[in-house]
Amino acid sequence: MKKPLIRLNNIYFYYDGRVVLKNLNLDIHEGDRVGLMGPNGSGKTTLLYIIMGLLKPSSGTVEIFGKIRQKEKDFIEVRQKIGLLFQDSDSQLFCPTVKEDIAFGPLNLGKSKEEALNIVKETCDILGLKGFEDRVTYKLSGGEKKLVALATVIAMNPLCYLLDEPSAGLDEKTIDRLTNYLLNKANTYLVVSHDKEFLSRTTQKIYYIQNGTISKSVE
Ligand SMILES: Nc1ncnc2c1ncn2[C@@H]1O[C@H](COP(=O)(O)OP(=O)(O)OP(=O)(O)O)[C@@H](O)[C@H]1O
Ligand SMILES: [Mg+2]
């Protein structure tokens, strides 16, 4: 079997001396569509931050694309190829306008201004954000911000998506649009959600995190 895209091996993580993750193991292979459920405060967001190198585990290894990642520079490639949707959209959006926020990733990956603007248009079309390009990001509604945050991730065309509560606050029609995108255009993803129906529509298996560890598959 091919090496996993993401392998967490025996991860421990503490906040202020309190254990959040303990002996946590996780493999995500190319083509995997995985859901992750668990109570509030069980460490789901922490787990995603560890994969992206935004938090460092106290012990255990983070192996991405077959390489152990430890130092800040090890995560440059990870952040280019794995797209994280933050649970809180305000953590994702930092440009004055929607267009600039969505174009930021592609420009950073070396796309021309014209290519980036095409990507902005395509991404807005996919998510029903037509006409939002010049809107001021901080004045958007919560659901609109979530959609723009999703657009910034999709615009990067990542190898793997890590989505933290992507359906939270979205209306039914928009959730359908997101579901179709994931099923038809996204190959590999890990979706954190409390929405079991959304997970059963979009994923092949659902893991459960409790007491710091991924204990079982729900389905
Ligand atoms: N910066 C921080 N400093 C101290 N403790 C923190 C910090 N961030 C998170 N925690 C704690 O770590 C634990 C795990 O938090 P985390 O955000 O990973 O949970 P979660 O499973 O994503 O929860 P939710 O379903 O509410 O999003 C919680 O007990 C939380 O209070
Ligand atoms: Mg969380």
Cβ of 46 less than 6 Å from ligand 1? yes
Domain assignment present for residue 1? The answer is no
The domain that holds 205 is classified in CATH as: 3.40.50.300
| Atom number in ligand 1 closest to CA 209 | 21
Domain assignment present for residue 121? The answer is yes
Domain assignment present for residue 105? The answer is yes
- Residue 177 burial (10 A CB sphere; 0-12, 13-18, 19+): middle
Domain assignment present for residue 40? The answer is yes
Residue range 194-205: average pLDDT? 96
| Atom number in ligand 1 closest to CA 16 | 4
Q: Quick one: pLDDT at residue 82?
A: 98
Domain assignment present for residue 110? The answer is yes
The Å distance, Cα 113 to ligand 2 centre, comes to: 34
Cβ of 149 less than 6 Å from ligand 1? no
Domain assignment present for residue 53? The answer is yes
Q: Are 84 and 75 in contact (CB under 8 A)?
A: no
- 26-65 pLDDT, tens digit each: 999 999 999 999 999 999 999 999 999 999 999 999 999 9
- 100-149 pLDDT, tens digit each: 999 999 999 999 999 999 999 999 999 999 999 999 999 999 999 999 99
Angle (deg, nearest 10), helices 142-154 and 172-185: 10
7: tokens are 């392998």
**Domain membership of residue 178 as a residue range:** 6-217
pLDDT-derived band at 1 (thresholds 50, 70, 90) equals low
Domain assignment present for residue 182? The answer is yes
How far from 214 is each of 42, 44, 219, CA to CA, in Å? 10, 10, 14
Cβ of 36 less than 6 Å from ligand 1? no
Residue range 58-82: average pLDDT? 97
Q: Give the residue whose CA is nearest to atom 28 of ligand 1.
A: 41
What's the structural domain count of the chain? 1
Cβ of 193 less than 6 Å from ligand 1? no
